[in-house]
Copies of this chain bind each other. A is one copy, B any other.
Amino acid sequence: MRKDKIPSAESITRDPYTGSRKIYVKGTFHDIKVAMREISLTDTVFKFNNNKTEKNPAVTVYDTSGPYTDPDVQIDVKKGLPRLREEWILKRGDVEELSEISSDYGKQRFYNSELDHLRFEHIKKPLKAKKGHNVSQLHYAKKGIITPEMEYIAIRENQRIQEVQNLGCQHAGHSFGANTPKGFITPEFVRDEIAAGRAIIPNNINHPESEPMIIGRNFLVKINANIGNSAVTSSIEEEVEKAVWACRWGADTIMDLSTGKNIHETREWIIRNSPVPIGTVPIYQALEKVNGKAEDLTWEIFRDTLIEQAEQGVDYFTIHAGVLLRYVPLTAKRVTGIVSRGGSIMAKWCLAHHKENFLYTHFEEICEIMKAYDVAFSLGDGLRPGSIADANDAAQFGELETLGELTKIAWKHDVQVMIEGPGHVPMHLIKENMDKQLKECHEAPFYTLGPLTTDIAPGYDHITSAIGAAMIGWFGCAMLCYVTPKEHLGLPNKKDVKDGVITYKIAAHAADLAKGHPGAQYRDNALSKARFEFRWEDQFNLSLDPDTAREFHDETLPAEGAKVAHFCSMCGPNFCSMKITQDVRDFAEKQGLSEQEALEIGMKEKSAEFTKTGGEIYI
């Protein structure tokens, strides 16, 4: 039996979402079609008011699922997704197709016939910037160019809120100095934010299948899902399905953290079939190349790995260049030492050679590689705290300062940068992380793992961390790396991936609401209205996970009739809050509208007052 199985049509989830259809919104400046999901709703029936009816407009939501949920698109995993961005990239005239793969390792794998049965069949020749060119979105942005990617993002971020007649009420929010436009996002605003380094668009020219997305604190908060095999588990087939599955539930990017067999081939399959950007930690693969012996790592092996992965299309690299020799002893008395795998590898290398981290000493050479493919930096926090005890210590913050220095160097090369953050942090120390990151790293986007707000709940760390993630998202973190229930215990299976993704969509959306992101509350309002009116199917379809909502409802009241009934299992048929509300409305009307009007004026004043004092709610 072959241990590694390649994906087939059957192994990939393709069901459309219930009650939804895929729509495509056209661009104005570029010939682009931005994919979104439209959820259609049923009418409200006023049972206690002569069965009057009222239309409920469809709700458009951000869609990360890619072509898989469009029944009109033919998908062949063996060929990969349509190459959406290829034409945009080629049109810029600054790239060339290489005659063959540049990296030694990539060639080795490509020409090894023993791998034929696992290799992705349709590998294209890699693209690379022409000599003297820089193909990063940051480079274009600084030159004042609005790329199709930027326009795509502007349209995508807006979720068609400009077309909504009545967005309904939305709380003003409190954004801690984030600066999202009050109305909607323009392509020019996207360009500005990229140029300022406050946001990144991870999209390698060799991953044209990906739909452009942005990571920055003035945009919707994003989430990342980690997948990947290990020495003891998983096949290529499973990992590709996990990636598609994670996107289905809302992952904005995927990190492939494979450390097992056939990492190179697994990655190719994932990238070719991924509608979202892919991140990796190249040092993991480099370590496999030296049989797990950190001390045997060399700059040359690492460099070859970067090129290998950049030419496959990895969109961002986690690079632990801030783990400096002088910070390593600062972890000696920690409760949990160094818990980042990349951090431990580099610490071990530094100690074994008594030399400075080669990622730091070769940083400018790394930048040269990154800009030739538009790979973004995700500067790794190798010294992040692995326990509440170690939060916000000297090792962690020392490294963060170094990441700030490196950010400046990367920007000098017009290479996009985000900064990774912790980890395990009690609630009251989370804000300090965000503030320090903004300051030390010059507002480059922050990308945190949780943080977990307690250590005592293994098996539930998606929850311990969602608390911290929602908070740091509110404070300004741009992307939240999910944590699954298996954290600390094992590798996530499909169920864990979904639990982690949905949990993090909750955290990200709670953050958007608290920041007052324009239109963020529209979906909440629509769902709450559906809930209040017992439009069960609408409630399910508007929820982050319609399948689970429907299943839970049906556990108690399985009959189809129950899903249109004006009651639920909690209150029983004798008691209807809709009826009571109709009574209240009638009563209020009888009182004349004066009281109601007075109230509304009062509420407006209150809201204005709140907005005014918003900056000071914690005083």
Question: Which chain A residues have a beta carbon within 8 Å of chain B's beta carbons?
Answer: 168-171, 173-174, 230-233, 259, 287, 291-294, 328-333, 335-339, 341, 344, 347-348, 351, 386-389, 391, 393-394, 424, 426-429, 431-432, 453-460, 462-464, 466-467, 470-471, 474, 485-486, 488-491, 493, 502-503, 505-507, 509-511, 513-516, 521, 523-525, 527-529, 531-532, 539-540, 542-545, 548-549, 551-553, 555-557, 568-575, 577-578, 580-581, 583-585, 587-589, 591, 595-596, 599-600, 602-603, 606, 617-619
Residues in B whose Cβ lies below 8 Å from that of A545: 457, 459-460
What separation, in Å, do the CA atoms of A233 and B562 have in the docked complex?
15
Contact between B387 and A524, CB atoms less than 8 A apart: yes
What separation, in Å, do the CA atoms of A528 and B557 have in the docked complex?
43
Contact between B389 and A524, CB atoms less than 8 A apart: yes
**Could you jot down 14 A-B contacts, CB within 8 Å?**
A230-B569, A292-B572, A328-B584, A329-B588, A332-B585, A332-B589, A339-B577, A387-B525, A453-B470, A454-B506, A456-B544, A489-B568, A490-B555, A491-B569
Residues in B whose Cβ lies below 8 Å from that of A618: 431, 618-619
A573 to nearest B CB, angstroms? Answer: 8
A248 to nearest B CB, angstroms? Answer: 16
A596 to nearest B CB, angstroms? Answer: 7
Contact between B348 and A580, CB atoms less than 8 A apart: yes
A237 to nearest B CB, angstroms? Answer: 18
What separation, in Å, do the CA atoms of A607 and B84 have in the docked complex?
52
Residues in B whose Cβ lies below 8 Å from that of A344: 575, 577, 580
Given A336-B528, A570-B230: A467 touches B464 (CB 8 Å cut-off): no
**Supplied contacts A457-B545, A459-B549, 14 more A-B pairs, CB within 8 Å:** A173-B428, A328-B588, A330-B599, A337-B532, A344-B577, A388-B525, A394-B606, A428-B516, A458-B527, A458-B543, A458-B549, A490-B556, A491-B569, A619-B619
Contact between B454 and A335, CB atoms less than 8 A apart: no
Contact between A491 and B577, CB atoms less than 8 A apart: no
Residues in B whose Cβ lies below 8 Å from that of A589: 332
What separation, in Å, do the CA atoms of A6 and B547 have in the docked complex?
35
Instruction: Report which of B577, B591, B595 forms a contact with A337, defined as CB distance below 8 A.
Output: B577
Given A232-B569, A569-B491: A596 touches B525 (CB 8 Å cut-off): no
Contact between B386 and A348, CB atoms less than 8 A apart: no
In this complex, what residue of B is CB-closest to A339? Answer: B577
A574 to nearest B CB, angstroms? Answer: 3
Instruction: Report which of B293, B332, B470, B488 forms a contact with A584, defined as CB distance below 8 A.
Output: B332
A112 to nearest B CB, angstroms? Answer: 23
What separation, in Å, do the CA atoms of A589 and B595 have in the docked complex?
75
Contact between B387 and A572, CB atoms less than 8 A apart: no
What separation, in Å, do the CA atoms of A583 and B459 have in the docked complex?
30
A148 to nearest B CB, angstroms? Answer: 31
Given A455-B524, A463-B503, A587-B351: A599 touches B394 (CB 8 Å cut-off): yes
Instruction: Report which of B331, B389, B540 forms a contact with A528, defined as CB distance below 8 A.
Output: B389
Residues in B whose Cβ lies below 8 Å from that of A292: 572, 574-575
What separation, in Å, do the CA atoms of A275 and B173 have in the docked complex?
43
Contact between A490 and B570, CB atoms less than 8 A apart: yes
Residues in B whose Cβ lies below 8 Å from that of A527: 455-456, 458
Contact between A460 and B171, CB atoms less than 8 A apart: no
Residues in B whose Cβ lies below 8 Å from that of A570: 230, 341, 490-491
A152 to nearest B CB, angstroms? Answer: 25
Given A557-B232, A574-B292, A584-B329: A335 touches B458 (CB 8 Å cut-off): no
Residues in B whose Cβ lies below 8 Å from that of A259: 571-572
Residues in B whose Cβ lies below 8 Å from that of A455: 524-525, 527-528, 531
Residues in B whose Cβ lies below 8 Å from that of A389: 168-170, 521, 524-525, 528
What separation, in Å, do the CA atoms of A471 and B556 have in the docked complex?
32
Residues in B whose Cβ lies below 8 Å from that of A489: 549, 552-553, 556, 568
Contact between B543 and A427, CB atoms less than 8 A apart: no
Contact between A230 and B335, CB atoms less than 8 A apart: no
* Closest 3 pairs (CB-CB, A-B): A292-B574, A490-B556, A618-B618
What separation, in Å, do the CA atoms of A460 and B488 have in the docked complex?
22
What separation, in Å, do the CA atoms of A293 and B573 have in the docked complex?
12
Residues in B whose Cβ lies below 8 Å from that of A464: 506, 510
Residues in B whose Cβ lies below 8 Å from that of A463: 462-463, 466, 503, 506
A120 to nearest B CB, angstroms? Answer: 25
Contact between B347 and A552, CB atoms less than 8 A apart: no
Given A388-B524, A459-B545, A552-B459: A351 touches B232 (CB 8 Å cut-off): no
